[in-house]
Structure 1
């Protein structure tokens, strides 16, 4: 008796592929030193997308990744990425940044501004060719958006990498977190400006006003209730803020970040928050990577996409290293510090992919530009540990020694 495969069965088959393929590659080929599992998952998402698997075996791709399955996957991906961005907002510690405001401001400003300028130059060059700017994007939005994508530091992935390198709790590690935290706020602020819809300015003003008032009552509530209830109220708050931001035209991920940034990390046990972040990465974020891969495109030509990705990678890495080096000279850092800090801060990974997804959702960039940015983010992230680990081993800074033999096995799934 013939059985017509159902959407539920196709969804479960897609989920099995999403989790099995990157895990097997990561474990069998022991890629953790140069490509941690999170990076392999991003690459797998690209390979499982229409640009690679879809062209290699189009019938299989069309059979498994039907519109209904993609819709279901997108729902999981939306919630996953909102949780991830909210946690990134919670982890920001503005008080430490304020206590060290001169050092933090100079470093964060140069670490953000220089790669942004380098990336904007590349973006301006891309405007000379067809196929890069989206149908709803203005030229200034494209230049600033792509430039900012080159300046992004992925704070949550940076934390995972510093844990792997046993650097997180060192003095240098805490300094790097301050720089990345301040840049994180600037990145989301610039994104809100890029997304500003003057036709919906009334809605956006209403949302920001309502959000400000709600924050006062929300913070009082969170302080008053037991810690076990805060986790549940946090999720309600996330959904409401994301809805409000999307309704106002700012995008639900901007709302997710705002939901997190107004919460104090001490409201939650740090160990449990770390576990939540790790579990979100393990359980649901791979679905986001696959849904991201399904949006890649090579319609302007594969060579053109790779060329754009290479130019953006050079702008991103060179800009970040140059900016941090200038900061090191101004602040009179020890020799070698700027190089280690610069290579860590150029980690892109998830936050840049999230950033690029928003630009694509708003049709400011095309799928081809998105693909180039995605390739740049993957390459940037893969460079981090191979470049930093030997520098840490050779450094003379306290609390920064690293055993290269332990890096590859420092934490499951990272």
Structure 2
């Protein structure tokens, strides 16, 4: 039966599994409060990976997720995540952050540096054991990479969760977006530092120089174009930036983020931009979640991976809360305000998973470390709404506090 089926039919079987299984789990179990659909899709990707489905049913796993099918799925996944990261770059509101620069800089700096320090300590401890550091990494790259993974805030998923909490357009939601926007820039800057290849430093410097010059021309073109044309030109720009960044050795996702970061959100209708993000999440990103799940590995032992994930989650959450409380003391926030902001900013989800995928691609971390980071991201995101919702109800006045 299997041999009679061609690649197209097997590909469609894989697509049916990808889109049917997580939706049924999410809808029938009615767990939206605890786990948004995107989180269920990530978990399902892990379940469909080689560590669980592949181990339990190796023949069926090899049949459905054969190399030809995986090649097709990976192409969809790469383009989907590039669009997703570009949107994250577009949504950076640097002008708003500049208007509130003292508050934004203090909060964003502490909300990034404290969990980064906590994560680096945890990563330094992991260096004492075999199986965590990637073959292509120096110690400082591993420590800084894992530390930054603990400091990441997932801006696009944070937007979705704040929409669910009905605070996105309220003053506190806009403040949190400013803090997360500044942290996003630092995250990608540190990633570029980690990935810096001294054997190709000339090529990477050349990429940055050409990118700066091209950005000037691109921005002038986008201002001149009508909005209907900007959408198409933005995708051409995305492909060019991703290709150039990957050619330079920085990874195509760095190029995707830079492509979006130099765009202005007001060039596009906000409702259409929101709809594009939602549609990418609905139509294409589940394929990326599957490819992420296929990278999970329990080679150093399931218990060790779960322990590492728990330690990293504790470092991430404790660091974000500590950083937010320090900012609250300096800025004189009200009671309960720092806790709400800290819990929102510790949301990891997709940006951290993308970050960890890049570390894995470049040999900075092993598959086991990637799995621990993936579990940490899932736990972080699942905690956000259940923890923040009751806090908001107790301190309802915070929703309307503008500074």
- The TM-score by the shorter chain falls in which range? over 0.9
TM-score of the aligned structures, taking structure 2 as reference length: 0.98
Per the alignment, do residues 2 and 124 of structure 1 end up closer, same or farther by CA in structure 2, a change over 3 Å counting?
A: closer
What residue in structure 2 maps to residue 264 of structure 1?
264
What residue in structure 1 maps to residue 286 of structure 2?
286
Per the alignment, do residues 325 and 398 of structure 1 end up closer, same or farther by CA in structure 2, a change over 3 Å counting?
A: closer
What residue in structure 1 maps to residue 145 of structure 2?
145
CA offsets 1:58-86 (integer angstroms, 9 cap, x no match): 11111111011111111000000000000
Matches within 5 A, 1:185-264: 185-264=185-264
What residue in structure 1 maps to residue 177 of structure 2?
177
What residue in structure 1 maps to residue 5 of structure 2?
5
Contact 1:19/1:286 (<8 A) preserved: yes
What is the CA–CA distance in structure 1 between the aligned matches of 2:3 and 2:170, rounded to whole Å? 59
**How big is the shift at 1:274?**
0.3
Per the alignment, do residues 192 and 70 of structure 1 end up closer, same or farther by CA in structure 2, a change over 3 Å counting?
A: same
What is the CA–CA distance in structure 2 between the aligned matches of 1:203 and 1:6, rounded to whole Å? 42
1:301 matched to 2:315: no
What is the CA–CA distance in structure 1 between the aligned matches of 2:381 and 2:202, rounded to whole Å? 39
Of residues 50-59 and 248-257 in structure 1, the stretch that sits farther from structure 2 once superposed is 50-59
Q: Unaligned regions of 5+ residues in structure 1, if any?
A: 402-414
**How big is the shift at 1:157?**
0.3
CA offsets 1:66-117 (integer angstroms, 9 cap, x no match): 0111111110000000000000000001011111111000000000000000
What is the CA–CA distance in structure 2 between the aligned matches of 1:122 and 1:165, rounded to whole Å? 32
**How big is the shift at 1:397?**
1.5
Contact 1:149/1:355 (<8 A) preserved: yes
Matches within 5 A, 1:328-343: 328-343=328-343
Per the alignment, do residues 398 and 368 of structure 1 end up closer, same or farther by CA in structure 2, a change over 3 Å counting?
A: closer
What is the CA–CA distance in structure 2 between the aligned matches of 1:271 and 1:292, rounded to whole Å? 29
Find the residue that maps to 2:95 and give its secondary structure. helix
**How big is the shift at 1:396?**
3.6
Count of residues in Structure 1 that have an aligned counterpart in Structure 2: 401
**How big is the shift at 1:398?**
4.9
Q: Deviating runs (4+, > 2 A) in structure 1?
A: 398-401
What is the CA–CA distance in structure 1 between the aligned matches of 2:222 and 2:287, rounded to whole Å? 31
What is the CA–CA distance in structure 1 between the aligned matches of 2:257 and 2:213, rounded to whole Å? 17
What is the CA–CA distance in structure 1 between the aligned matches of 2:58 and 2:101, rounded to whole Å? 54
Find the residue that maps to 2:397 and give its secondary structure. coil
Per the alignment, do residues 2 and 151 of structure 1 end up closer, same or farther by CA in structure 2, a change over 3 Å counting?
A: closer
Contact 2:360/2:367 (<8 A) preserved: yes
TM-score of the aligned structures, taking structure 1 as reference length: 0.96
Contact 1:154/1:350 (<8 A) preserved: yes
What residue in structure 2 maps to residue 322 of structure 1?
322
What is the CA–CA distance in structure 1 between the aligned matches of 2:385 and 2:400, rounded to whole Å? 14
What residue in structure 1 maps to residue 75 of structure 2?
75
What residue in structure 2 maps to residue 368 of structure 1?
368
What is the CA–CA distance in structure 1 between the aligned matches of 2:340 and 2:107, rounded to whole Å? 13
Per the alignment, do residues 332 and 10 of structure 1 end up closer, same or farther by CA in structure 2, a change over 3 Å counting?
A: same
Contact 2:343/2:384 (<8 A) preserved: yes
**How big is the shift at 1:400?**
6.1
**How big is the shift at 1:2?**
9.1
What residue in structure 1 maps to residue 113 of structure 2?
113
What is the CA–CA distance in structure 1 between the aligned matches of 2:19 and 2:300, rounded to whole Å? 30
What residue in structure 1 maps to residue 381 of structure 2?
381
Matches within 5 A, 1:19-38: 19-38=19-38
**How big is the shift at 1:399?**
3.6
**How big is the shift at 1:167?**
0.3
Find the residue that maps to 1:364 and give its secondary structure. coil
What residue in structure 1 maps to residue 59 of structure 2?
59
What residue in structure 1 maps to residue 50 of structure 2?
50
The CA RMSD measured in Å over matched residues stands at 1.2
Of residues 53-62 and 150-159 in structure 1, the stretch that sits farther from structure 2 once superposed is 53-62
What is the CA–CA distance in structure 1 between the aligned matches of 2:252 and 2:340, rounded to whole Å? 34
1:393 matched to 2:397: no
Contact 2:337/2:398 (<8 A) preserved: no
CA offsets 1:246-274 (integer angstroms, 9 cap, x no match): 00000000000000000000000000000
Q: Unaligned regions of 5+ residues in structure 2, if any?
A: none
What residue in structure 2 maps to residue 409 of structure 1?
none
CA offsets 1:227-260 (integer angstroms, 9 cap, x no match): 1000000000000000000000000000000000
What is the CA–CA distance in structure 2 between the aligned matches of 1:171 and 1:193, rounded to whole Å? 34
**How big is the shift at 1:4?**
1.2
Of residues 206-215 and 2-11 in structure 1, the stretch that sits farther from structure 2 once superposed is 2-11
